[in-house]
Structure 1
Amino acid sequence: MLKRSRTYCKMASKKLRVAVIGAGAAGLCAARHILACPDAFLPPVVFEASDQVGGTWVYTEQTGEDAEGWPIHSSMYRDLRTNLPKEVMAFPDFPFDPSLPSFLHHSDVLAYLESYREESGIQDHVRFRWQVDDVRPVLGDQGWDIRATVRGSGSTHRVSEHFDAVMVCTGHYSVPYIPPIPGLDSFQGCLLHSHSYRCTEPFAGLTVLLVGAGASGVDLALQLSPVAARVVLSHHGPPVCGLPEDVLQVPRLLKVAKETVEFRDGSVLQPDVLIFCTGYRYCFPFLPLAQLGLQETDYGVGPLHRHLLAPRHPSLFFIGLCQLICPFPHFHCQVLFALAVLQGRCRLPSAAEMEADAQEQLERYLREGGLARHFLKLKAQQWSYAKELAHLAGFPPLPPAVQAIYEATRARRCHNVSTYRDTKYHLLGPDAWEEVQDSGTDLEDNRKAE
């Protein structure tokens, strides 16, 4: 432990050059806080493969590949509204415009991130159309060499640069996961993943089978119900409350044939369209995971100290891997913890101790009945996780009202997925809030967060 601490005190004695990979919400958060510490860090270099900031919040009608043959990373669809209110979505140091409704159209979130970029002075530090190809550690804890492809007008060239630390902020909503279901290749109807869904019109008058009742599956059921001839939602959980009566909920998909599908209860359906709302894979093709002491796992990549730091290379950070969280506040906490580590203000255990601790956390989670693939789904644990990062790194914890409004929203969504967005929340302070219906009727006034 002392050796590692001395290493970081030495690193903190000079200004560090940090590479940030990705200019979505997590990458912008990292850049903002690096710029806020000019005594410790040189201005960051933010690598962004596309031509604008915003990551998954950038909407495009295109799917698959762009005109130059590069993959379309965004999974945004035209009519998406957030499933969390802006009062808990915001970065703690940058609130949304209070005149906006609580549940926002995706364009409002993108505009917010663009304002965040402008207010933070990030724009000059983003390299657009730079695709990171390779990130390699330099022997002897001497930082990182990054190779990237620069996309010009009809041409590309490759560049290599050196950095003291790397923050991976590439998100995990761009590489679709489709479960291995027998007979899937034989299906003759339209088959796609929600990653490629954009709008309702192509599905008018068709029988649509949605597989998966997470946020995307439920949202698409709500959107498609008014236009499709029939919408069927296949999942293995309890019934989703509040879906339109004409949305049929059936058990998990068992197998697929040319024109029909069969479910686990033996029932059969002949759908025109099969849409998988089954989540995404973590993908880091630019990282030599084995060389870094990491490996692909059922839940993503590991072992990681506190879900974000590579134990054998503690200047490599993964921001935003966790799921079922309040994303922007979560990124905020992870970034501030990472910068405290780099500055030598947060002492780390040895690599062996960090790996052992990560393994123990996983084994405890499995002993308690969790599935390995859900290890990074923090849910209620996100609050103690954020508090711990704040305590270790010495920054203010998240306001109690954030957790309280998040939990109130979750309860309303569980009660009725069709109406929970009708509520508007008002923050009255760090531990006080109120909620009103769109009509303006107070539901709770000066309610205190526990």
Structure 2
Amino acid sequence: MLQRVAVVGAGAAGLCTARHILSRPGHFAPPVVFELSENVGGTWCYDERVGKLDNGLPVHSSMYRDLRTNLPKEVMMFPDFPFDPQLSSFLPHQEVQRYLERYCQSHGIEPHIRFNTVVERVKPVVVMAEGEVEERTTWEVTSSDSSGHQKTETFDSVFICSGHYSDPHFPHIPGIENFKGKVLHSHSYRFAEPFTGQSVVVLGAKASGLDISLELANVGAQVTLSHRRPRLTFPLPAGIQQSSSVEAVEDDGRIRFQDGSVTEADVLMFCTGYNFRFKFLDAAQLGLDIQDQMMSPLYRFMVPPAFPSLFFIGICKIICPFPNFNCQVQFALAVLEGSVTLPSRVQMEDEVRRELQEKLERGVQHRHLLILDQDQWEYCNTLARSAGFPLLPPVVRSLYEEVWRQRQIHPKNYRKLNYRLISDLQWELIN
């Protein structure tokens, strides 16, 4: 009997899941992919609108108009599906969107996607089939289409590929109601021109905070880049000054920083990340604790130990996304096929608890526990060895780390460089 799999989301992770399911017709029926919008691509699908759509749903994508990738295409690509070699290494978001459309077309995924379809509920149902000796879980997925027609279907497994860049995280700032200017999150930022000549306090100096600050400075905004990280040592444009983190907003509307200094500003922009939100899931029923920027326990960052036929793809942070998704999906399908046997629920929960405890003892903050960064390579290799698929070629790590170094030295110019992969071990700079 072929297994039926539901896939929530047709962004990069959902398309990767569908592609690998379709490549195993002996084990799986074609997937049913539920997609909220009318396009594939997920967060890569640029939408100039912000706030809510005509249908009342929030805008999903956080893409801004001039975003270019901060990883080269040689590292970003799915290992078995290269980008067009004519393209430069660092791409505008439109090229990534085109790449995902080509991936979808090439693997015949589109006929299996239900566009403009909202997943309302994903619910486990424990059943004991006739003649079987142990219980098994099936999944009821309730969805509604654009006309509001609702239906419920049963699946053997569900892959949650709905991303985690759509529900903006606003940290608490005492007195923020006193601020007289405009407050927004980078989720609602599209382009810099409206901020010309304004004073903007940007909270957060990770990828989007730094990127948006550079864009704002280019149009003549006065930017205060406020963060709690060590002071950035590379040269910043004249229009950007650094400061310590925001502590509060004073009664008169001025912003007070941790070092005691205060400033007036026209705009307060939060580049403070995103929350995990799965409105269609009952976290408690699944044995999961889902907080703003953390969810646990997930074995191998994917599997709730209580329900090992549910998989979350792509929730780790600071990773090479597409290669990471590719490894996670193949591991998950090996579990469903039976070639990988998971430990017992108790063993999985213990392992997750131990790993998280070790990270906390190393000084990792609770909200950063899903950041993989340097751990991502061993993580992907562990999945590959367990499930018997090819390891990521070492050149991916080598080039990723080189680009990370360049980004620290030349945050404005590192994207001008172009690279080429020569072999599984070697890359070269081509300009």
| Alignment-derived partner of residue 44 in structure 2 | 57
Match of 1:123 among 98, 110, 114: 110
Q: Is 1:96 aligned to residue 90 of structure 2? A: no
Match of 2:96 among 105, 109, 113: 109
For 1:142 and 1:421, the matched residues in 2 are separated by: 48
For 2:422 and 2:241, the matched residues in 1 are separated by: 41
Q: Is 1:230 aligned to residue 244 of structure 2? A: no
Q: Is 1:424 aligned to residue 418 of structure 2? A: yes
Alpha-carbon deviations, 1:21-48, whole Å to 9, x = none? Answer: 0000000000000000000000000000
| Alignment-derived partner of residue 177 in structure 2 | 185
For 1:232 and 1:207, the matched residues in 2 are separated by: 8
Q: CA deviation at 1:293?
A: 1.3
For 2:221 and 2:284, the matched residues in 1 are separated by: 49
For 2:377 and 2:55, the matched residues in 1 are separated by: 43
For 2:168 and 2:291, the matched residues in 1 are separated by: 16
- After TM superposition, the structure 1 stretch with the greater mean CA deviation from structure 2, 209-218 or 133-142, is 133-142
Q: CA deviation at 1:431?
A: 1.0
Match of 2:196 among 204, 214, 217: 204
Q: CA deviation at 1:387?
A: 0.2
> Could you tell me which amino acid in structure 1 is paired with residue 330 of structure 2?
L
| Alignment-derived partner of residue 45 in structure 1 | 32
Q: Report percent identity of matched pairs.
A: 51
Match of 1:261 among 248, 255, 266: 255
Q: Is 1:145 aligned to residue 140 of structure 2? A: yes
Q: Is 1:252 aligned to residue 239 of structure 2? A: no
In structure 2, the residue corresponding to 1:138 is in which secondary structure?
Answer: strand
> Could you tell me which amino acid in structure 2 is paired with residue 150 of structure 1?
D
For 1:370 and 1:207, the matched residues in 2 are separated by: 33
Alpha-carbon deviations, 1:404-437, whole Å to 9, x = none? Answer: 0000000111112111112111011111110133
For 2:352 and 2:269, the matched residues in 1 are separated by: 35
Q: CA deviation at 1:239?
A: 2.4
Task: Give TM-score, length-normalised by structure 1.
Answer: 0.92
Q: CA deviation at 1:318?
A: 0.2
| Alignment-derived partner of residue 130 in structure 2 | none
Q: CA deviation at 1:60?
A: 1.0
Cα contact 1:242–1:418 (8 A) shared by 2: no
Q: CA deviation at 1:299?
A: 4.2
> Could you tell me which amino acid in structure 2 is paired with residue 173 of structure 1?
Y
> Could you tell me which amino acid in structure 1 is paired with residue 181 of structure 2?
G
Where do 1:276-291 residues align within 5 Å? 276-291=270-285
Cα contact 1:319–1:334 (8 A) shared by 2: yes
Gaps of 5+ in 2: 128-135
Q: Is 1:412 aligned to residue 406 of structure 2? A: yes
For 2:291 and 2:349, the matched residues in 1 are separated by: 14
Task: Give TM-score, length-normalised by structure 2.
Answer: 0.96
Alpha-carbon deviations, 1:371-421, whole Å to 9, x = none? Answer: 111111000000000000000000000011100000000011111211111
Where do 1:281-360 residues align within 5 Å? 281-297=275-291, 299-360=293-354
For 1:229 and 1:339, the matched residues in 2 are separated by: 49
Q: Which structure 1 residue ranges, 4+ long, deviate > 6 Å from structure 2?
A: none
Match of 1:396 among 386, 390, 394: 390
| Alignment-derived partner of residue 152 in structure 2 | 160
Cα contact 2:220–2:239 (8 A) shared by 1: no
Q: How many residues align?
A: 421
Gaps of 5+ in 1: 1-13, 438-450
For 2:178 and 2:146, the matched residues in 1 are separated by: 38
| Alignment-derived partner of residue 218 in structure 1 | 210
In structure 1, the residue corresponding to 2:119 is in which secondary structure?
Answer: strand
Alpha-carbon deviations, 1:202-260, whole Å to 9, x = none? Answer: 10111111000011100011101021341110001122223213310000001113531
- After TM superposition, the structure 1 stretch with the greater mean CA deviation from structure 2, 312-321 or 244-253, is 244-253
> Could you tell me which amino acid in structure 2 is paired with residue 237 of structure 1?
R
Cα contact 2:200–2:266 (8 A) shared by 1: yes
Alpha-carbon deviations, 1:152-176, whole Å to 9, x = none? Answer: 3xxx121100000000001000000
For 1:360 and 1:242, the matched residues in 2 are separated by: 41
For 1:228 and 1:65, the matched residues in 2 are separated by: 29
> Could you tell me which amino acid in structure 1 is paired with residue 190 of structure 2?
R
| Alignment-derived partner of residue 58 in structure 2 | 71
Cα contact 1:22–1:55 (8 A) shared by 2: yes
Alpha-carbon deviations, 1:70-106, whole Å to 9, x = none? Answer: 1101000000000000000000010000110000000
For 2:35 and 2:405, the matched residues in 1 are separated by: 37
- After TM superposition, the structure 1 stretch with the greater mean CA deviation from structure 2, 340-349 or 131-140, is 131-140
Q: CA deviation at 1:298?
A: 6.2
In structure 1, the residue corresponding to 2:149 is in which secondary structure?
Answer: strand
For 1:74 and 1:86, the matched residues in 2 are separated by: 21
> Could you tell me which amino acid in structure 1 is paired with residue 104 of structure 2?
R
**C-alpha root-mean-square deviation of aligned residues, in Å?**
1.0
Q: Is 1:361 aligned to residue 355 of structure 2? A: yes
